[in-house]
Amino acid sequence: MFQYVSALPHIGKAVPMVPSGRGTQALLNPSKRLFSRLVRLETALGVLLAVYLLVGRWSPVRLTGQDATVLAEARVWVTSALMILLTVCIRRRPQIPARTTSSLVLPALLLLAYMATTFAWTPEPSEALPKILDLVVMFLVTSSAVALVRRSKPDELAVVFWWTVVVIAGVNAVAMIGASAPIFSPQNRVTPLGGGPNVFARIMGLMCIAALYFAHRTRVGLAWWGVASLSILLVVTSGSRGGLLALSVALSGAFLVHLFRSSTRKPQAIVAFVILVGCLGALVPATTLGGDALDTFDRRVRRLTFEDRYDSGRTTIYKSAIEMGRRYPVFGGGLDGFQASSPQGLYQHNVFLEAFSEGGLIGLGLLSWLVLTATKRSIRPSSVHGAAYAAAFFLILVSSQFSGDLYDSRALFLLPVLIGAAQYAHRTPSKR
């Protein structure tokens, strides 16, 4: 027993074996094997990073309808846990060289640091304080995650990460499906856990990618194909046109990269596409959710988008953001300057326009550097771990052009690091 307890200060290291006799049999006990896995670095890190990407500014207090304090937000707990985990594991020898992730994390950290400095010339400092907190959280999580990812095993980390995504997204899906009222009706497009339709669409998109990831790794692939198909229907039912487009681009990109850039098993991409279409074709006519998805698609996409040309006011917002960037072309209008100057308190709904309007050409250049570097790395041939991260990166990249701010696009800063680590592990397989 003391040998297992002594493993706690060395999270991620193997638990020492007992020479022989009872001790060896004890290590074969399932509960002890489970305990040894729970105290591993990959388990803690995978759970924390997935929670960080999914929960956003969410707090359990939101379910009560009351205003939550900053300390009640889950992201504060996750950031604190990551910092503690880093202090515990900092002496562990890195398994991934720094050069593998440095080119991916450098533009991200520079952008976050620069956007924080724009607070110096923001028109409303008091209104910009929440965004300072967003930037601090993103900087701490990204920098600590890089150090921890380099000290972990990327393949095992990916499995825990995507399992956590499935669990959290599954709770959202069950809460939506089990709601007594039609929560995605035209008058009430919200989620039962206190979020919005665009956020819900992103989470369901990530669950779809996670399901496809496990469908390629397990023998019960048909069940995972069903989960992926259900996720697509939920994205459509949410009514988020940006979320639907983002998922379409992510899945199409993953399919094309796997088809044309992978050196082996190219027929699997064709088979996967056929199975996914077949599962969707079976779910749509056989379920109530399928009918709701068709009705929502007809109303939100065909009528609003193509017939009525309705863009939720995005064109006007984009023009205003571009105009602000032109007025302050080099350094921008300052952190939260756009929202402070907007009569309705609107934000840019586009991460590139946010960087340009509030950070000028410097902010736009740093963000473009980050996205181009990560995109170039994402389209390289990789294992299923790297392919799943890359699909998630493109999902967030496209959706961030229609909704969300820098913090809502925090996956753009973190996922490239996971992509680089997974590709390094793919190029240098374990000797075992």
Position 159 in a domain: yes
Nearest alpha carbon to residue 370 among 110, 98, 34, 16? 110
SS3 of 370, please? helix
Domain range for residue 178?
99-427
For residue 393, the model assigns a pLDDT of: 95
Position 53 in a domain: no
Q: Record the pTM.
A: 0.87
Q: Give dist(CA 11, CA 39) in Å, integer.
A: 5
Position 13 in a domain: no
- DSSP-assigned letter for residue 399: H
Position 358 in a domain: yes
Q: Which tokens hold the place of 311?
A: 């863009």
Instruction: Work out whether strand 184-185 and strand 188-189 pair parallel, antiparallel, or are unpaired.
Output: antiparallel
Position 59 in a domain: no
Position 183 in a domain: yes
For residue 299, the model assigns a pLDDT of: 87
Nearest alpha carbon to residue 364 among 111, 91, 46? 111
Q: What is the mean pLDDT of each run of 10 residues along the chain (432 residues)?
A: 41 44 49 57 94 89 72 91 93 88 93 96 91 96 95 93 96 79 52 74 94 83 88 90 92 75 63 84 86 87 87 90 95 93 85 96 97 91 84 95 93 94 75 39
> How many helices (H) and strands (E) in the chain?
18, 2
| Contact between 165 and 207 (Cβ < 8 Å) | yes
Position 55 in a domain: no
For residue 345, the model assigns a pLDDT of: 76
Task: Calculate the CA 403 to chain-centre distance.
Answer: 15
Count Cβ atoms within 10 A of the Cβ of residue 320 and give its class: 0-12 exposed, 13-18 middle, 19 or more buried. Answer: middle
For residue 358, the model assigns a pLDDT of: 96
Nearest alpha carbon to residue 189 among 45, 292, 108? 292
Alpha helices in 154-287 (DSSP H): 154-177, 197-215, 221-238, 241-260, 267-286
Amino acid, single-letter form, for residue 364: L
Count: domains in the chain: 1
Helix/strand/coil percent split, the chain, to 5: 70, 0, 25
SS3 of 185, please? strand
